[in-house]
Structure 1
Amino acid sequence: MSVSTRRVFMLQVAAGGAALAAASAHAQAAPMVGEKDAQAMSLGYAADTTKVDAKKYPKHAATQQCSNCALYTGKAGEASGPCGIFPGKHVAAKGWCSAYAKKA
């Protein structure tokens, strides 16, 4: 094997490895925010908006949910997605927290 052929082969191996790593990272979903996480608890996060404590959060309305919050960046129709409040984690589309801000 000549030096240039070996160099081309090594570049192809490196490029293929990088492509596989990128595909693998994209395929893995972000972890879900747990209701018992410290930040989630401080914001009253509930994975199901219908189970929010009405006495503790009197301004909560059943129509408010993560999927129609301005901070939610998940795709429409998906069960969960990213939220600006919880970087690197997903929230339930039908969830709610006290940082809720209606999408414009």
Structure 2
Amino acid sequence: MKTSRRHFLLMSVCVSAGSSLVLSRAAFAAGANTLSEADPQAQALGYKEDASKVDKAKFPQYAAGQTCGTCSLFQGKATDAFGGCTLFGDKQVAARGWCSSYTNM
């Protein structure tokens, strides 16, 4: 089958766009948009990427077993390492993290 120049260019553009989409999704999944503990809103809510590092004297409402992954505000799946949170907009929070707005209703 003979391929025309037009067909070749069209296929090249489609393959290139598909590759870009895969790369951008990989970058997002790798933490390109994760919430930093240094973020002012994260600091105001006592966000920690690892719930075991929460200052229990500063946040006495923290209880063992509370993590972002079990919070009702977490928008990821139970198996996700990171997911959205209604408090932090487009930032991704660690499923094993915690903040003072933890709620499990």
TM-score of the superposition, structure 1-length normalised?
Answer: 0.76
Could you list the structure 1 runs, at least 4 aligned residues long, displaced by more than 6 angstroms after superposition.
none
How far apart in 2 are the matches of 1:24 and 1:57?
A: 39
Q: What's the offset of the Cα at 1:65? A: 0.6
How far apart in 1 are the matches of 2:19 and 2:89?
A: 24
Is the contact between residue 73 and residue 81 of structure 1 (CA under 8 Å) also seen in structure 2? no
How far apart in 2 are the matches of 1:24 and 1:88?
A: 19
The structure with the greater share of residues assigned to strand is 1
Aligned-residue sequence identity (percent) comes to: 39
RMSD (Å) for aligned C-alpha atoms: 2.2
The residue number in structure 1 matching 2:84 is 83
Gaps of 5+ in 1: none
How far apart in 2 are the matches of 1:17 and 1:86?
A: 33
Compared CA separation, residues 45 and 96, structure 1 to 2 (3 A): same
Counterpart check, 1:26 vs 2:25? yes
Gaps of 5+ in 2: none
Amino acid of the structure 1 residue aligned with 2:55: D
Pick aligned residue for 1:61 from 31, 43, 63: 63
- Secondary structure of the residue aligned to 2:31 is coil
